[in-house]
Structure 1
Amino acid sequence: MSLHPRRTGWRFQWATIAWLTVVWVLLWGDVTWGNIVNGALLGLLVTVGLRMTPVDFRGRVHPLGLLVLLGRFALDLVRASFEVSIVALRPRYTPRGAVICVQLRSHSDLYLTMTAELVSLVPGSIIVEAHRLTGRLYVHVLDVETSGGVEKARQSVLDQEARVLRALASDEELADAGLQRRGRDREVASR
């Protein structure tokens, strides 16, 4: 299956145009006919005029894995926000930042991008560089001490990737990454 708009037909393009129109109106913060028409025209221009690179998606959405991914992401947001505020409010404390290299297990552009976005959205870490061909992410960590050290920060990124894969990847993609679904981990352990 491909997520390329030209390959999925007009139904997907109309949904994309509608979504872009909603985003446009929300950005302006005022529901007027002018904003709706301009949003629709801009959505049409973006959808038809800009070439989108094809994204191969061979997996499917796994509701339990998605729930775990979103729940843990929300928990990470709260925890990291608290940690960053502690670092910011400590008098005369200079955080020891670091840039770490994380070799991801998956070779999919989609999963690399999703992992990078989720890691960047959590306060205290940002993706400095992503190497598509090698599957490496270079992550800047605000404070290595608060993060529990370099290896713990690296493992945190790998855990995020595992949650993304368990939420969206096919069984073959999981096996290629050396992972299994959570339910199957328990089945294998009980044998």
Structure 2
Amino acid sequence: MTGPPPTSGTAGRPGTSRGRLGRWRDQAVALGWLVLVWSLLWGDINWANLVGGLVVGGAVLVFFPLPAVSFGGRLRPWALLVFAGRFAVGLVSASLHVARIAVQPGYRPRGAIIAVRLRLSTDLNLALTAEAVSLVPGTLILGVDRDSGTLYLHVLDTHGPADLDGARDRTLAVERRIVRAVGSTTELRHLDVPSSEKGNRR
């Protein structure tokens, strides 16, 4: 005589364990980004800011939990280093540009609002790209359309269509570097799909 079949609870333990591990991994990734953003907002990466970022980031995740955002990619150290290096160069260049505008007598820069449709409309990609773009002086995220994967940006000091196209290209380049650093293989393939952001001028 055979015994009763195993209960669904016993059979579901491995999946439950993997799901719990995935949630912990997602929380760790979110905490790491919050710490990085906290340090960048202070303008200096030191032990005090790292500890403060861990405390503030942990409090945000505990008391103000964000919607679950799955992370299906993998970390690529070299691509992450490339992203960090290009981001630092862009940050310095944009800061010098804004500083020149601020001290130039009688100069009034023109701003513009543009829409940039990203190649990937996942919540994680939208959040990381929007955060990286908004940290660069002269560019501000005004809104995000989750359904279409579109970012609405205010760009400082524009003189014509070429400047608007340049801002779009820079935003898509940031997305490309982020996906290459932490995206999945499927997401990497989507980078080769042409984007239709050229027709979304505002």
State the identity %.
Answer: 40
Match of residue 176 from structure 1 = 190
| Structure 1: tracts of 5 or more residues without a match | 31-38, 180-191
* Distance verdict in 2 for CA 1:131–1:142, change over 3 Å: same
* Distance verdict in 2 for CA 1:3–1:47, change over 3 Å: farther
Match of residue 74 from structure 1 = 88
Per-residue deviation, 1:5: 8.5
Asked if residue 161 in structure 1 is aligned to residue 183 in structure 2, the reply is no
Match of residue 147 from structure 2 = 133
1:86-125 Cα distance to aligned partner (Å, 9 max, x none) = 1111111110100110000012110111100010000000
Q: Of 92, 101, 111, which aligns to 2:125? A: 111
Match of residue 150 from structure 1 = 164
Per-residue deviation, 1:7: 3.4
* Distance verdict in 2 for CA 1:98–1:169, change over 3 Å: same
Q: In 2, distance between residues paired with 1:53 and 1:104?
A: 21
Q: In 1, distance between residues paired with 2:119 and 2:165?
A: 16
Q: In 2, distance between residues paired with 1:114 and 1:159?
A: 13
Q: Of 24, 27, 31, which aligns to 1:8? A: 24
1:21-66 Cα distance to aligned partner (Å, 9 max, x none) = xx8x957x99xxxxxxxx69x95x7655544421111100111110
* Distance verdict in 2 for CA 1:175–1:52, change over 3 Å: same
The answer to whether the Cα contact below 8 Å between 1:3 and 1:56 also exists between their aligned partners in 2 is no
Letter in 2 for 1:133: D
Letter in 1 for 2:23: R
Q: In 1, distance between residues paired with 2:163 and 2:102?
A: 18
Match of residue 92 from structure 1 = 106
TM-score by length of 2: 0.66
TM-score by length of 1: 0.70
SS at match of 1:161: helix
Match of residue 65 from structure 1 = 79
Letter in 1 for 2:70: D
SS at match of 1:149: helix
| Structure 2: tracts of 5 or more residues without a match | 1-17, 39-46, 194-202
* Distance verdict in 2 for CA 1:78–1:4, change over 3 Å: farther
